[in-house]
Structure formats: structure tokens, C-alpha cells
Amino acid sequence: MTASQAPGANSGVGQTHDIGGVAGDRLKAFIERVERLEEEKRALAEDIKEVFAEAKGTGFDVKIMRQIIRIRKMDKDDLDEQETLLDVYKRALGMNPFD
């Protein structure tokens, strides 16, 4: 009997089993994929933070840049509706300088 075949070897660490219809190996693979993707997401978030810091260092307003990025992601119809409502609200408050 080898060490890996000895009773109690690995103490169950790293071993997976099919329990209650759940394939342990498959579940473990999914979890490990998500963990790798989460790590990539953290790295990307750090890269984005560095780009914003660089932009700020050259004089750009990061808050406005984030707003532009959010607007560019929006559906055109949603953006048009939002801009129309914003205009209506501003007029109702007497904030439109063109009236």
C-alpha cells in the first residue's frame, strides 16, 4: 500500500466525492474558475484605477470621465428619455438659462 492509498491519506483535503447527486469534481472546477475570474477582475479594477489616476494627473476631471463612460454605455432611447426628463425638471425649477 502506498502513502496515497493509506487510510486517512490527505485527510480528505483535495478529495471530492459525489454526494446527493452533486459531482464534487465538477463543482470544484466551477468554483476554481470563478475564483480565477475574480482575481482577474481585481487586477483589471486596479488597472482602471491607475488609468484614472494618470488622467487626473494630466488635468482631467475623473468624476466627469466616469459620467461620460456611464453615458456611453447607455441605450440611446434610455439616454434620450433621461435627458428629456432632466430638461423638464430643470425648467420646472427655473434652471434653464435659455427660457
DSSP state of 94: T
Mean pLDDT of 51-76: 97
pTM attached to this predicted model: 0.64
pLDDT at 49 over 60: yes
* Grid cell digits, residue 64: 466627469
Q: Are 3 and 9 in contact (CB under 8 A)?
A: yes
Q: Give the alpha-carbon dihedral of 74, 78, 79, 81, to 10 degrees.
A: -170
pLDDT at 63 over 80: yes
Domain ranges of the chain: 17-60, 61-99
Please tell me the predicted confidence (pLDDT) of residue 7: 47
Mean pLDDT of 2-22: 59
Task: Dump strand ranges (E) for the chain.
Answer: 18-19, 22-23
pLDDT at 85 over 60: yes
Q: Are 68 and 76 in contact (CB under 8 A)?
A: no
How many residues are recorded in the chain?
99
